[in-house]
Amino acid sequence: MADPRGFLKVRERELPKSRPVEVRLRDWKDTYAQRQEGQPFLKEQAGRCMDCGIPFCHQGCPLGNLIPEWNDLVRTDQWADAIERLHATNNFPEFTGRVCPAPCETSCVLGINQPAVTIKNIEVSIIDEAFERGLVAPQVPQRLTGSTVAVVGSGPAGLAAAQQLTRAGHTVVVYERDDAIGGLLRYGIPDFKLEKEHIERRLEQMEAEGTRFRPGVAIGTDITWDALRRRFDAVVVATGATVPRDLPVPGRELDGVHYAMDFLTPSNKAVAGQPVEGAPHAEGKHVIVIGGGDTGSDCVGTSLRQGAASVTTLAIGKKPPTERPAHQPWPTDPILFEVSSSHEEGGERSFLASTVEFVGDEDGHVRSLTVAETEYLEDGRRVPKPGTERQIPADLVLIAMGFTGPETPELVQQTGAETTGRGLVRRGDDYASSLPGVFVAGDAGRGQSLIVWAIAEGRAAAAAVDAYLQGSTELPAPVGPRTVALRG
Ligand SMILES: Cc1cc2nc3c(=O)[nH]c(=O)nc-3n(C[C@H](O)[C@H](O)[C@H](O)COP(=O)(O)OP(=O)(O)OC[C@H]3O[C@@H](n4cnc5c(N)ncnc54)[C@H](O)[C@@H]3O)c2cc1C
Ligand code: SF4
C-alpha cells in the first residue's frame, strides 16, 4: 500500500545530479555522479507513487513493469523484494534504468497535474543496490530439456531471449559477429550514457546460468544460416537494424562525410582500450551532425569529448514543443523538444535545416555544407526552400538519420527467408519467420526501436521458441510483434 499522502507531501521531482559539464567532458565516465554516492531523497520520491487503481505507467512500458509494487518496496526499504518484482518483468533494468526514454513516466497518472514519479531513477537504483547487496544471483535451470537454440546477435533482444531460454532449460549459444557481446549497448551507445561494466556484470550472471557466448562469429559467412539451422533445434534472429539511412546529395562521396556508426563504434572501441586506426576523429574539427535523434545526440557528446572545434546538429523538421500539445494528450508518449546530457554539454542545434550539398576542397575533403530552410509541401513532403541557402563550415559530417532495416542478404540467399516491403525479416504473430524453427526478435523484425522494446521482444520470442520446442510454455510474452507504442 502506497503512502496515501506521499504525493501531497513531496510535490517536486528530485533526481541525481549530473557531474559539472567541464568535469565530465574530460572523461568518458557516466554523466551522473550521485547514483554511486547514494540518494537521500529516493524513498520520498518513491513515496510519491499513488498506487493507482489503473496504473497507466504499465501501459506506457512494453515490458509491463510492476512499477507501483517496486515503488512501494523502495519506500519501505525492502530491497530483496523490490529486485524480485523488477526482474519479474525486465531482465536488464541496469540498461533501461540508464538509457530508456521512459515512456512509463509520460503516462504516469501523477503527470496529469504534477511532475511524474521518477520511475526510471527508482528502477536503476533498485538494480544498482541489488548488485551492491549481492541480491543478483545466477538462476540455474533445475533440469535441461535437451533442446538447443542458437541466438544470432547479442544486443538486448538476443540477450533477453537467451536468458529466458537458458533459464527454461534449453542449451543456448549466442553468436555475435563483433569481437564483444552487447550489440548497440557495447559499440553504439557511448560510455558516458552506459559504462560497459554493466554489460560485463550481467554477462557473468548469464554465463553462470549456462548461456554460451561466441563473439567474433558472423552467421552467413563464418557459419552458413543453413548449417546453423541443421545444428540447432531452433534459431532466433536478433541481428538488429544496422543498415544506415543515407543522404544522397551532391558531394556525398567527399572525405570526411561518414555514417554516425563509423564514428561511434571506433570511439567506443578506443574508450575500451582497443587500437583503432584510420577512424574519423573530431579533434579540432567543425563537426556537423545530421539528424536529431539518440544517435545524433551521442555523436555530439562524443565529438565534444574528442575536442571538436564546434559541433552543430541539423534537424530537417520543426523544433518540437517543450510542453505537451493538445493533440498529444496524456497518457500518450508525446514528441517534445528534448535536451539530452550531450546537448547540455555544448554545440548548436538548428531546426528546419535541409542539407542541399556537401562542398569540398581541391583534395576532395568536405569543407562546408549548403543548407536551406525546410519547406513543407501540401502532400507532407519536406524540401529545401529555394533562395534560403546558406553555407556552414564543416570538416567532419556525421549522418545520423536512422536505420532502414537489418542486413539480410546472406539470410535470404542461403535460406530463402521472406522479408517485408520495408526490408525487415518477416514474422507471424508468434515471432516465427517463414522458415520452420527460425524466430525473429528486436530491431531485425520491428525496425529501429528502443532497448525496452528489444528486451520485451526477446522475452516474447523466447516464449514462442519454448512453446515450439516443448509444446507449451510458461514464459511471459509481454508484447506481440505488432504491438505499438502509445504515441501521441
Ligand atoms: C547510437 C545509438 C544510440 C542509441 N541510444 C538509445 C538509447 O539511449 N535508448 C534506447 O532505448 N535505445 C537507443 N538506441 C536504440 C537501441 O540501441 C536499439 O533499438 C537496440 O539495441 C536494438 O536491440 P537488438 O538486440 O534488436 O539489436 P542490436 O543492439 O543492434 O544488436 C544486434 C547485434 O547483432 C549482430 N549481428 C548482426 N548480424 C549478425 C550476423 N550475421 N551474425 C552474428 N551477429 C550479427 C550485430 O553485430 C549486433 O551486435 C540507440 C541506437 C543507436 C544506434
Ligand atoms: S501511474 Fe504513476 S502514480 Fe500511478 S501507479 Fe504508476 S507510477 Fe504510481
The string of pLDDT tens digits covering residues 172-210 is: 999 999 999 999 999 999 999 999 999 999 999 999 999
Categorize the per-residue pLDDT at 426 as very low, low, confident or very high, splitting at 50, 70 and 90. very high
- pLDDT of 175 reads 98
Specify the ligand 2 atom closest to the Cα of 7.
3
Beta-carbon count within 10 A of 478 CB: 19
The per-residue pLDDT for 1 is 62
Ligand 1 centroid vs 241 CA: distance in angstroms? Answer: 7
**Confidence bin at 485 (pLDDT 50/70/90):** confident
- pLDDT tens figures, 236-275: 999 999 999 999 999 999 999 999 999 999 999 999 999 9
Mean pLDDT across the stretch 48-62?
A: 93
Give the C-alpha separation, 14 to 110, whole Å: 15
Catalogue all structural domains in the chain, each as residue range(s) with its CATH number.
6-132 (1.10.1060.10), 148-242+404-470 (3.50.50.60), 246-401 (3.50.50.60)
Ligand 1 pocket, 157 CB below 6 A?
Answer: yes
pLDDT > 90: what percent of the chain?
A: 93
Among 91, 179, 294, say which to mutate for ligand 1: greatest number of ligand atoms within 8 Å of CB: 294
Q: Ligand 2 center to residue 157 CA distance, Å?
A: 27
Average pLDDT over residues 311-325: 94
> Among 51, 75, 113, which is best to mutate for testing ligand 2, by the most ligand atoms less than 8 A from CB?
51
- Output the ligand 2 site: residues, CB below 6 A: 49-52, 55-57, 67-68, 71, 108-110, 117, 119
Distance set, CA 377 to CA 147, 382, 415 (Å): 56, 6, 43
Grid coordinates given for 33: 555522479
Atom nearest to 51 CA in ligand 2: 5
User: What is the distance between the alpha carbons of residues 97 and 157, in angstroms, rounded to a whole number?
Assistant: 16
Whether residue 220 has its Cβ less than 6 Å from ligand 1? yes
Residue whose C-alpha cell reads 510542453 in the numeric block: 323
Q: Pairing state of beta strands 310-314 and 348-350? A: parallel
Atom of ligand 2 nearest to the CA of 49: 8
Task: Evaluate if residue 60 carries a pLDDT over 90.
Answer: no
- What tens digit of pLDDT does each residue of 382-408 get? 999 999 999 999 999 999 999 999 999
Does the Cβ of 63 fall within 6 Å of ligand 1?
no
- Weakest-pLDDT range from 2-11, 168-177, 393-402, 464-473: 2-11
Task: Quote the pLDDT of residue 2.
Answer: 80
144-153, 375-384, 462-471: range with lowest mean pLDDT = 375-384
Output the average pLDDT for the chain.
96
Polymer length in residues for the chain: 488
Q: Which atom of ligand 2 is nearest to the CA of 50?
A: 3
CA 260/CA 283 separation, integer angstroms: 16
User: Which one of 92, 189, 237 would you pick to mutate in the ligand 1 pocket, going by the greatest count of ligand atoms within 8 A of its CB?
Assistant: 189
Return the residue whose CA atom lies nearest to atom 19 of ligand 1: 450
Nearest-CA residue for ligand 1 atom 30 is 240
Distance CA 281, CA 279 (A): 6
pLDDT at residue number 467: 98
Ligand 1, pocket-test mutation among 91, 184, 259, most atoms within 8 A of CB: 184
**Distance (Å) from CA 468 to ligand 2 centroid:** 36
Ligand 2 atom closest to Cα of residue 107: 1
The pLDDT, as a whole number, for residue 471 is 98
385, 374 in Cβ contact below 8 A?
yes
From the CA of 454, how far away is ligand 1's center (Å)?
9
Nearest CA to ligand 2 atom 2: 108
Q: Is 449 in the pocket of ligand 1 (CB under 6 A)?
A: yes
- Rounded CA separation 307/25 (Å): 9
Confirm or reject: Cβ of 194 under 6 Å from ligand 1. no
Question: What is the distance in A from the centroid of ligand 2 to the CA of 212?
Answer: 38
The predicted pLDDT at position 486 comes to: 66
Q: What are phi and psi of 307, to 5 degrees?
A: 95, 35
Give residue 381's pLDDT band: very low, low, confident or very high (50, 70, 90).
very high
- Give the whole-angstrom CA distance, residue 122 versus residue 119: 5
Is pLDDT at 34 greater than 70 in this prediction?
no
State the ligand closest to the CA atom of 100: 1
Q: Are the CB atoms for 183 and 240 separated by under 8 Å?
A: yes
pLDDT tops 80 at residue 232: yes
CB atoms within 10 A of CB 54: 8
User: What global pTM score does this model have?
Assistant: 0.97
Helix (H/G/I), strand (E/B), else coil: 155: coil
